[in-house]
Amino acid sequence: MLNGVSSVLTKYCLVSINLTIWFKNGERALIELALKVDCIYIQFRRTSPIVKKTTHWVDIKLLCSRRSFNIGVVVKLLYKYMSNPEYFLKEGYIRASQLSALNDPFEATYCKEALSDLCPHFEICDSPSELISYIEENKNKIGVISLTEAKDNLLMWSHYANEHKGAVIGFWAKSAFNGNMFTHLHEPRLNSTSLFEGFEMFHGECLPVMYRKQPRYRVDRFDFDYSNISAEGQDRILFEIFQQKSDEWIYEKEHRVTLRLDQADKIIVSDVHRLKNKHVLSQLLAIGSEDENGRFTVYLDKISDEIVREAYANNLVELSFDPSSLYLFKVGHVNSIIYGLNVSQSTIDSYQEDLHNYRHIEQWKASLNHDFYTLEFSEIERT
């Protein structure tokens, strides 16, 4: 039947049609078509009546131009500043930084007193202290991948791209099919607090950071929708404390992917012999490699048994207190690379062999704008 509910898609539309389809099992699908001057948007989502869980929107955009008629996904292009892109380009792994490796001492801080007041409304723990203990015991097992809307921020080029000698990689932050930027994100099988499939918190979605004056829950503990928290469990709180920062950082325009470190596809640690479980250690030594400097590397995405894979990863997460430990995720949907203005032509040439792994990647070079304090970008034609 027709549904007259409007959305942001209807703005500046020539024609907008909203449809609601009801299924026999009580589920419903909402479909919106919006015809604009240069494109057609199709938006689809499905809602389950059992637990009142709405899936993510799948957005399809049909671009209409004089040259072509293409179909693609309406997604956001986000950027990752890198001091040395060589390691990423060779294998396609990107780091999720654990708490000990993040540069903001206020990361994952929150108002414990206010959360304790909120806890009785959740019905997920016997006491507030139990919830607080869960958060404190597990927040070092979480990693974040930080992306940004801004490819031209001078401070970030200096701080995160080796004083303009690094690069910025452009990613499509969501794909049409799995809703994230990863080649194949491991879904946790162990230690999840969700009660139902589909309510896991760490599914690779990239969300904008919430910039705030005060830590989470202090003044806004009743301002968020927790209607699904019984199904999501304590991981809902563990997830969301990583999604905010002080508004001092607002210039970064950050978007984050928050993940469990035991979802990692590849892990590199120093002195793996520190692991407490010696049986797991012996098995890891058999499938991984250790270099002359004591750096141990294991490719968990090569392990077919997902329970074994996650068990190994769980043990390696013990070493997350060491900021030199690397928890890496295989990424797809790469759009572009922008070389810093201090990157030499010989360095760019050395990257070309690795770039054959990315068939449609765009290459750009930054340069100074001599009239304003801004950067300019010129595209490099691939040969």
Contact 172, 77 (CB under 8 A): yes
Which single residue is written with the structure tokens 């194949």?
Answer: 184
Give the whole-angstrom CA distance, residue 85 versus residue 149. 19
What are residue 378's phi and psi, to 5 degrees? -120, 135
Q: Which amino acid does the sequence have at 58?
A: V
- The predicted structure's pLDDT at residue 68: 34
Contact 153, 252 (CB under 8 A): yes
Query: Residue 253, by phi and psi: left (phi above 0), alpha (psi -120 to 50) or beta?
Result: left
Contact 241, 212 (CB under 8 A): no
Contact 143, 96 (CB under 8 A): yes
Q: Virtual CA dihedral for 194, 199, 205, 211, nearest 10 degrees?
A: -70
Grouping H, G, I as helix, E, B as strand and the rest as coil, residue 121 is helix
- The predicted structure's pLDDT at residue 74: 47
Q: Of 146, 75, 174, 151, which is closest to residue 338 (Cα–Cα)?
A: 151
Give the contacts of 292 (CB within 8 A, at least 6 positions apart). Answer: none
Give the contacts of 305 (CB within 8 A, at least 6 positions apart). Answer: none
Residue pLDDT, tens place only, 181-207: 888 899 888 888 887 777 888 989 899
- The predicted structure's pLDDT at residue 38: 42
Tally of CA atoms within 13 A in the half-sphere of 115 that contains its CB: 24
Cα separations in angstroms, 341 against 82, 158, 191: 14, 11, 46
Give the whole-angstrom CA distance, residue 71 versus residue 326. 37
CA 264 to chain centre: 12
pLDDT < 70 regions, the chain: 1-75, 174-179, 383
How many C-beta atoms lie closer than 10 Å to residue 1's C-beta?
A: 7
Contact 4, 18 (CB under 8 A): yes
> How big is the chain by its Cα radius of gyration, in Å?
23
- The predicted structure's pLDDT at residue 181: 86
Contact 163, 342 (CB under 8 A): yes
Contact 240, 232 (CB under 8 A): no
- The predicted structure's pLDDT at residue 170: 94
Sign of CA dihedral 276, 282, 288, 290: positive
Grouping H, G, I as helix, E, B as strand and the rest as coil, residue 133 is helix
Cα separations in angstroms, 291 against 49, 106, 110, 189, 300: 54, 35, 40, 31, 18
Q: What angle do CA 297, 299, 305 make, to 5 degrees?
A: 135
- The predicted structure's pLDDT at residue 16: 58
Contact 369, 375 (CB under 8 A): yes
Cα separations in angstroms, 9 against 22, 31, 43, 56, 100: 22, 12, 9, 16, 41
Sign of CA dihedral 64, 69, 75, 79: negative
Give the whole-angstrom CA distance, residue 21 versus residue 19. 7
pTM equals 0.79
Q: What is the DSSP letter of 376?
A: E
Q: Which amino acid does the sequence have at 21?
A: I
- The predicted structure's pLDDT at residue 246: 95
